[in-house]
Amino acid sequence: MHKVIIIGGGISGLASAWFLREKGWQPLILEAGDPAGGSICSRREAGFLLDTGANSMMLKGEIVPAWFRRIGMDGEMIEANPLAKRRYVLKDGVPIALPNGPLAFLRSPILSLSAKARLLGEPFRPRSTDPDESIAAFVRRRLGPEVLDWMVDPFVSGVFAGDPERLSLRATLPRLAALEDAGGSLLRGAWRARQAKGPRRVAPRLVSFRNGLQMLPLKVADLLGDALHSGCIVERIHREGDLWVAEAAGQSWRAPRLVLAVPAYVAAQLLTPLHAELAAELDAISYPSVMTMALGFAQAQVAHALDGFGMLIPRKLGLETLGVLFSSTIFPGRAPAGQVLLTAFIGGAQNDIGARPDAALLSTVVQEISPALGISGTPHFVHARRWQRAIPQYERGHLDRIRRIDAALATLPGLAFRANWRDGVALGDCIENAAALSEGEGWRDPVG
């Protein structure tokens, strides 16, 4: 009998298994896909190296870098091109680089003179009485509508595929809320945080791996060996006394502890017979559809220098494309010599792509990004991946929902959740939360 069953072999499930095994547990991972890795998918095709899901990860703190060293991935890690610090936003048909400092900000044409002047009053803006303010309401109140339209909205739609009018500030961007809490304003909060810091911390780094992000889950899966069962679709979970039982294709496994490292809607399906109210809370978490498109062009087809991370497209412009990454600029070896690789995104919470044909979406993306980037002709390489349920949305009420979910866990001893629908959607957040599970955080009963 295993000590813990983990359902789901994405990065949350794999990392949870690894950290638990490091503490002496005997984990069993049941993963529906093959290979494991969830939304982390890399492939080589026609000389291009592309990631069809997550494209990079921000490395910060100590937990994730230390883990990479322990599993032998630090030597495979590559850092982003320094040019990736430059981010473009489309305005008036032209990609404009986001300012990276006070002087650049004053010179930037992204905001009007009146919008820049309004920012001077940010420290004197009153706090909101709304305990669960949306990102949009917070930005309008503190920074003004232009900052929302041209800077924050494209960031939110590009990174989270979300709608800032619906996303909860405290759930989605808790560090931003914490600055206002600490100082009464963003400026004073940032100043106090800077003053309170001890020794200088290592700056966050944007990283991937030599053969794409999928190298990470493949490495962890290899280290876990026969503890990982791929191609195993769990059909039912239930309790037998003090044990959890998972059933799949005529087989069953038992353990005193169970971790559901799956999307919220999958967890809801499994838990409906056991706790209908908990399942309903999970099923209410929204996942909009997103399509990623890897587009290969001859370098001569693209007039723009592609000297940055990519270009975000504000919803205010009425275009459908969320943004485009300059993939062959960000990391080396992503395109053959003389060619470039772009990765575009369409869909999200503000633009339901439904069942629209891939060809129609591709045509829309190429038509919308070509004038801004000076693209002539059509891509000679295309690889599209549709994620019917992409990034979980931390909408207003999300933190209250998480509290209700945690309360319901008290009636299901030995059960824990680890997935990106809670406590952060980033890969680094998922890994840190997996490490915390091995320390006893996340269980509703003592870890023995």
Q: What is the pLDDT of residues 424-435, one digit of tens each?
A: 999 999 999 999
Sign of CA dihedral 371, 377, 382, 385: positive
Q: What is the CATH number of domain 4-43+61-76+210-286+394-438?
A: 3.50.50.60
The helix (run of H) or strand (run of E) holding residue 89 is strand 87-91
Q: What residue type is assigned to position 220 of the chain?
A: V
CA dist list (Å): 282 to 268, 404, 417: 6, 10, 11
CA 6 to chain centre: 21
Could you read off the pLDDT of 126-146 as tens digits, one per residue?
999 999 999 999 999 999 999
For the chain, count helices (H), then strands (E): 17, 20
Question: What are the start and end residues of each CATH 1.10.3110.10 domain in the chain?
Answer: 101-123+132-196
Residue 107's pLDDT is 85
Residue 198's pLDDT is 58
Helices (H), 374-420: 398-409
What residues form DSSP beta bridges with 245? 238, 254
What residues form DSSP beta bridges with 27? 4
Going by C-beta distance under 8 Å and a sequence separation of 6 or more, which residues neighbour residue 58?
A: 204, 205, 206, 207, 426, 428
Could you read off the pLDDT of 144-181 as tens digits, one per residue?
999 999 999 999 999 999 999 999 999 999 999 999 99
Helices (H), 210-263: 215-224
Could you read off the pLDDT of 261-319 as tens digits, one per residue?
999 999 999 999 999 999 999 999 999 999 999 999 999 999 999 999 999 999 999 99
Q: What percent of the chain has pLDDT over 90?
A: 88
User: Rounded mean pLDDT of 356-363?
Assistant: 96
For residues 108 and 259, the model is more confident at 259
* pLDDT higher than threshold 70 for residue 6: yes
pTM of the model: 0.94
Q: Assess contact for 204 and 58: CB atoms under 8 A.
A: yes
Mean pLDDT across the chain: 94
Q: What is the CATH number of domain 101-123+132-196?
A: 1.10.3110.10
Question: What are the start and end residues of each CATH 3.50.50.60 domain in the chain?
Answer: 4-43+61-76+210-286+394-438
CA dist list (Å): 245 to 13, 240, 258, 413: 17, 7, 9, 13
What residues form DSSP beta bridges with 134? 168
CA dist list (Å): 318 to 140, 314, 445: 20, 8, 50
Residues 359, 68: Cα–Cα separation, whole Å:
39
The residue to which tokens 């359902």 are assigned: 7
Query: What residue ranges in 242-373 does DSSP mark as E strands?
Result: 243-248, 251-255, 257-260, 290-298, 310-312, 321-325, 339-347
* pLDDT higher than threshold 80 for residue 2: no
Residue 35, preceding bond cis, omega within 30 degrees? yes
What residues form DSSP beta bridges with 205? 59
CA 423 to chain centre: 11
User: Rounded mean pLDDT of 27-36?
Assistant: 94
User: Rounded mean pLDDT of 66-86?
Assistant: 96
* pLDDT higher than threshold 60 for residue 446: no
